[in-house]
Structure 1
Amino acid sequence: MIHLADTVTKVADKARGGVLVCGSHGGLYPGYLAAKAGVSAVIFNDAGGGRDEAGIGSLAYLEGLGIAAATASNMSCRIGDARDMAARGRISHVNGLAAKLVVKVGEPCADAARKLEAAPPPPGAVIGPVSEARSLYPVPGQRRIVLIDSASLVLPEDAGQIVVTGSHGGLLGGNDFLALQVDAFAGVFHDAGIGIDEAGTTRLPALDRRGIAGVTVA
């Protein structure tokens, strides 16, 4: 079965064993979360590739866990919007397991997802943490600089602080609160190559409306 999720941080249990079409970027941390969710296959947004091809970093990682994976081009569909991926997305990268299921670069995301339904169940490999997901940047000052791999890792204690995230700058579901789920002083995100409809920067107006300084980095 094919399941849609705007973010891998909010994947329902019913996605276990299914194909996940996910609006998250295809970096290592989302790949880790998809593997923990027990999906048999996943399609992410490639976030424009990025430095060191970080936007597709999950593909090799997931192949090592026996999970077929692909990405859709950020210029074909909006990052953070799974429905748009299913409607307009075009495949940009595949791992070896997806290639064995004849998922091809350039084909519609919806077609690729249907092919991935043939992927076998996840092999049940032990999913260890991929990195330290949360830390503090040690500099003096009135405000802490909080480093998190995903915006979903903010804590109430981060209110009023500077939060630097590994998340893309796309707003999820048009919900201003989901731009950053704490009233920080500032939030920093990745622009995900900006992409179609300038989707990679749509958190910024939402943060502005909430009185939170917001920036994206390339």
Structure 2
Amino acid sequence: MRDPLVLDSVTHLPAEARGCVALCASHGAVFAAWYAADRGVAAVILHDAGIGRDRAGIAGLAWLAAYGVPAAALGHRTARIGDGADCAARGVLTAVNLPAQALGVAVGMRAAEALRLLAAADLPPAPPVPPMAETRSELALAAQGGVRVVALDSNSLVRAEDAGHVIVTGSHGGLLGGRPETAVKHPVRAAVYNDAGIGIDRAGISRLPVLDARGIAAATVSAESARIGEALSTWRDGIVSAVNETAARMGGRIGQTCRDIVAAILDHRS
């Protein structure tokens, strides 16, 4: 029996993850589930990210069930999103798919116990899955004064060319493993994330003060208002749930739409 992998993000799964059971502290939306299956994991535990609009935070569990891959999600009120070690130590399951249920995994079970059950089951790797990609698109109509607005399904898609521009993401607003350097790779003008239900230790918005220290305006939209993992839902549906001080000085406030806070930031002249 191989030891389970415990990671801050599903994107950290190594090539040798094939056939392993993994706990990844990413949201449980479909792309994260696909990524785990594409790496060939035997089973995976993700984070429910507040579940949220259209149950997007756990939508990947049913997707994995269709391929026979056992999967579960742990609760945002029990462990910090983006922090694998904390999820393994404190996480309690809030959702379980049918293949995992058949192995004895149940809602209310501690994540550590679920990992042991899944690892002991000697499961095969996930079967081949069709290609899937996260999207990156420029919101041309939102641009102003030479500042672009770019919609990214994942914070990992930020590029050097985005420095000085606004990014609207589908990612959760939590630091990975609590590490400040994971907030954003490049010095963007502003960033919008999903709050993943905010959750225990306010982990779902922990990027905001770190970005404040870097002079980057940042906000989250509520998981109930926008589907996590989908940048265009953040843009079209998102209602602001938290802002950092830099964003507030630029006119950002709780209760605005995502479009309105981006417009306020673009209108601001420092």
Preserved contact between residue 10 and residue 32 of structure 2 (Cα < 8 Å): yes
**Alignment correspondent of 1:71:** 73
TM superposition shift of 1:127: 2.7
Matched, 1:160 2:196: no
- 2-structure distance, mates of 1:127, 1:175: 33
Q: Which residue of 1 aligns with 2:214?
A: 210
What's 1:93 paired with? 95
The letter of the residue matching 1:121 is P
| Aligned counterparts of 1:121 and 1:143: Cα–Cα separation in 2 | 48
Alignment of 1:81-120 (within 5 A): 81-117=83-119, 118=121, 120=123
The Cα of 1:51 is off from its aligned counterpart by 0.4
What does the per-residue CA deviation read over 1:144-189, in whole Å, with 9 as the maximum and x for residues that have no partner? 1111111111111111111111111111123222101111111111
Shift in Å, 1:123: 4.4
2:155 is the alignment partner of 1:143: no
Tell me how far 1:11 sits from its aligned partner: 1.5
Letter paired with 1:153: L
Q: C-alpha separation between the residues in 1 aligned to 2:187 and 2:56?
A: 28
- Give the Cα–Cα distance (whole angstroms) in 1 for the partners of residues 192 and 122 of structure 2: 36
After TM superposition, list the pairs within 5 Å mapping 1:1-218 onto structure 2.
1-117=3-119, 118=121, 120-129=123-132, 132-139=134-141, 140-141=143-144, 142-218=146-222
Offset, 1:126 = 3.0
Query: Partner of 1:57: helix, strand, or coil?
Result: helix
In structure 2, distance between residues paired with 1:5 and 1:57: 20
Distance 2:174 2:73 in 1: 17
- The amino acid that maps onto 2:130 is I
Deviation at 1:66, TM superposition (A): 2.2
- RMSD of aligned C-alpha atoms? 1.3
Shift of 1:211: 1.3
Residue pair 1:101, 1:119 contacting (<8 A) in 2 also: no
| Counterpart-to-counterpart distance in 2, 1:193 and 1:159 | 28
Contact 1:66 1:122 (C-alpha < 8 Å) held by counterparts: no
Structure label with greater radius of gyration: 2
Same amino acid, percent of matched pairs: 48
Stretches of structure 2 lacking an aligned partner (at least 5 in a row): 223-270
SS of equivalent residue, structure 1 residue 39: coil
Q: Counterpart of 1:42 in 2: which secondary structure?
A: strand
Distance 1:58 1:84 in 2: 21
* Letter paired with 1:210: R
User: Larger strand proportion, structure 1 or 2?
Assistant: 1
Structure 1 stretches of 5 or more lacking a match?
none
State how far apart, in whole Å, the 2-side matches of 1:200 and 1:162 are.
20
When structure 1 is superposed on structure 2, of 96-105 and 12-21 the one drifting more is 12-21
| Secondary structure at 2:176 match in 1 | coil
Report how far residue 62 of structure 1 moved: 1.1
How many residues were matched structurally?
217
The worse-fitting range, judged by mean Cα deviation, of 26-35 and 49-58 is 26-35
Does the CA-based 8 Å contact 2:208-2:219 persist in structure 1? yes
* Distance of 2:128 and 2:11 partners within structure 1: 20
Q: 1:123 and 1:178 mapped to 2: Cα distance?
A: 29
Q: What letter matches 2:131 in structure 1?
A: G
Asked whether the equivalents of residues 35 and 127 of structure 1 are also in contact (C-alpha less than 8 Å), the reply is no
